[in-house]
Chains A and B, each alone.
Chain A
């Protein structure tokens, strides 16, 4: 596709329910990132995938958060037993690769999924 796409665009759920957020990166991009953006805040790094390497999960806030990337393309971020403080915009970004020219590491963002936990 032309850009990074995310679905759903909006999600309202009840506290305690599980949610799955999907990201389709730019075709050919090997690196994929998930961020969380709370109201009035900058972007908080969650997790990073690069090719077939083990993901960097250092930014995940708790063990309720997990992510997968199947076939080196589509990624799913799962939040189990959602809490009200999980309400935020979840942004996905992809880049061509890591370790190449700096311009190839530039991240391109999707429109985000707005999650509201009631």
Chain B
């Protein structure tokens, strides 16, 4: 099935560094979602974006819904070891209930 282009595939950073990851699509989405998945767990919703241009924060996380509605980014500021996990973007088209998921960005934070 269709998948979003999510990058980077993996990141190895030092504690305290900022992180940025993004997703792009050839299709327009009405909703962008960012999830985090820790080992042995299901994805947990971090941020949901519902309007083009929307910028939303959740603690040290900030995500934006691209103005073209074909992209979104997620930033994590001042990373800490518990930020380790796989981050997935997902998009929802209007009238569709099937989310399209990116392949994920694996984040490793060195103390």
Asked if B75 CB lies within 8 Å of chain A CBs, one says: no
- Most central of A48, A93, A106 by chain B CB within 10 Å: A106
User: Is B40 within 8 A of A111, CB to CB?
Assistant: yes
Scan A90-102; emit 1 where CB is below 8 A from any B CB, else 0. Answer: 0101010010001
C-alpha gap A48/B4 in the complex (Å):
20
Residues of A contacting B92 with CB < 8 Å? Answer: 102, 105
Asked if A56 CB lies within 8 Å of chain B CBs, one says: yes
The answer to whether A44 and B50 touch (CB under 8 A), given A107-B99, A108-B45, A109-B42, is no
Asked if B44 CB lies within 8 Å of chain A CBs, one says: yes
Count of chain B residues near A, Cβ 8 A: 26
The answer to whether A91 and B97 touch (CB under 8 A), given A102-B31, A105-B31, A106-B48, is no
C-alpha gap A6/B42 in the complex (Å):
10
Residues of A contacting B48 with CB < 8 Å? Answer: 102-103, 106
Stretch at the interface among B12-20, B76-84, B100-108: B100-108
**Contact check: which of B31, B42, B98, B99 meets A4 at CB < 8 Å?**
B42
A56 CB to nearest B CB, Å: 7
User: Is B43 within 8 A of A42, CB to CB?
Assistant: no
Residue of B nearest to A35 (CB): B101
User: Is B31 within 8 A of A98, CB to CB?
Assistant: no
Residues of A contacting B43 with CB < 8 Å? Answer: 43, 91, 109
Closest 7 A/B residue pairs (Cβ): A109-B42, A42-B101, A43-B101, A42-B103, A98-B97, A102-B50, A109-B43
Tell me the B residues contacting A by CB distance below 8 Å.
1, 3-4, 6, 30-31, 33, 35, 40-45, 48, 50, 88, 90, 92, 97-99, 101-104
List 7 additional contacts besides A43-B99, A106-B48, A112-B41; criterion CB under 8 Å.
Answer: A4-B42, A42-B101, A43-B90, A44-B1, A45-B99, A108-B45, A109-B43
